Amino acid sequence: MRAGEADPAEGVARSGGAVLDGITLYFVRHGETDWNADRRLQGVTDVPLNATGRAQAQRNAERLAETEPDWSRFAIAVSPLSRARQTYRIIAEHLGLPREPACDERLLEGSFGRWEGKSWNELVAEEPEAHALFVGDPWANAPHGGETYGDLAVRVADWAAGLTQDTLVVSHGGVSRVLRKLYLDLAPSELLGLPVRQDRILRFRGGAVEIL
pLDDT at 4 over 50: no
Residue 84's alpha-carbon distances to 40, 73, 93, 171, in angstroms, are 17, 21, 14, 6
Q: How far is it, in rounded angstroms, from Cα 22 to Cα 166? A: 9
Domain ranges of the chain: 25-109+127-211
Which pTM was predicted? 0.91
Give residue 19's pLDDT band: very low, low, confident or very high (50, 70, 90): confident
pLDDT of residue 124: 95
Q: Given 30, 32, 131, 147, which residue is catalytic?
A: 30
CATH number of the domain located at residue range(s) 25-109+127-211 in this protein: 3.40.50.1240
Confidence of residue 168 (pLDDT cuts 50, 70, 90): very high
Q: Considering the chain, what is the average pLDDT of its residues?
A: 92
Is 109 among the residues known to form the active site?
Answer: yes
Q: Which position among 32, 109, 116, 147 bears the catalytic label?
A: 109
Q: pLDDT grade, residue 118 (50/70/90)? A: very high
Of residues 28 and 101, more confidence is placed in 28
Q: Is 30 one of the catalytic residues? A: yes
Q: What is the pLDDT of residues 132-167, one digit of tens each?
A: 999 999 999 999 899 999 999 999 999 999 999 999
In the chain, the amino acid numbered 15 is S
Position 15 pLDDT exceeds 80:
no
User: What local confidence, expressed as pLDDT, does residue 14 receive?
Assistant: 42
pLDDT for 21 beyond 50: yes
- The pLDDT, as a whole number, for residue 17 is 52
Mind listing the pLDDT tens digit for each residue in 55-73? 999 999 999 999 999 999 9
Query: SS3 string of the chain?
Result: CCCCCCCCCCCECCCCCCCCCCCCEEEEECCCEHHHHCCECCCCCCCCECHHHHHHHHHHHHHHHHHCCCHHHCEEEECCCHHHHHHHHHHHHHHCCCCCCCECHHHCCCCCHHHCCCEHHHHHHHCHHHHHHHHHCCCCCCCCCCCCHHHHHHHHHHHHHCCCCCEEEEECHHHHHHHHHHHHCCCHHHHHHCCCCCCCEEEEECCEEEEC
**Looking at residues 7-20, what average pLDDT do you find?**
49
